[in-house]
Amino acid sequence: MKRSVGRLAIILGALIAPGVARAQAPWRQVYKDSDLTVIFDTASVVLQSPGTWTTVTSWDYKRPRVIESKKQYTRLVERAYVKCAPVRVKRVRSTLYGANNVLVKDEGEVDPRDQMHMVWDRPRAGTPGRKAFEAVCGILTRKATSKNNAR
């Protein structure tokens, strides 16, 4: 009896664990260099309008950055609207964290009335921002293509 319960637990664990692992891994690394790792939350992506996506990225720095108030941060979590081909970005929320994920500064959400007047930034060629958002666009376009093919 104990053996069959143990075997059942192992079998159930083997069947359930892969699904749990997939459910817990929405973040994908899209850029990495010696000082910066950028990860992208694929689970929170929202199609705002045709060709415009709402995205969330986390920019983790090995060396602390300093803001105007002289406080240091090592993580920037950013919500942005992204258009691809060419890559363009509107940053609508930024939150900064320091050591041990302590909140340093939350810029808050840009008012929707102001968002429509914001300029679409084009990240400069060769920069980590350009490379990260190009990788994000690659994921977004694959996601859009797979959804269209499923129809």
User: What DSSP state is assigned to residue 101?
Assistant: G
The answer to whether the predicted template modeling score (pTM) of the entire model surpasses 0.85 is no
pLDDT in tens, 43-56: 999 999 899 999 99
Contacts of 46 (CB under 8 A, 6+ apart): 53, 54
Residue-number span of the structural domain to which 45 is assigned: 26-150
Q: Reduced to 3 states, what is the DSSP secondary structure of residue 35?
A: coil
Looking at the domain assignment, is residue 143 inside a domain? Answer: yes
Read off the CATH number of the domain in which 52 is found: 2.40.128.710
Looking at the domain assignment, is residue 9 inside a domain? Answer: no
Looking at the domain assignment, is residue 129 inside a domain? Answer: yes
86 C-beta neighbours (distance < 10 Å), count: 11
Looking at the domain assignment, is residue 7 inside a domain? Answer: no
Looking at the domain assignment, is residue 10 inside a domain? Answer: no
pLDDT mean over 123-145: 91
pLDDT in tens, 83-110: 998 999 999 999 999 999 999 999 999 9
Number of domains composing the chain: 1
Angle, alpha carbons 116-121-126 (nearest 5°): 165
- Cα 74 to the chain's mean position, in Å? 16
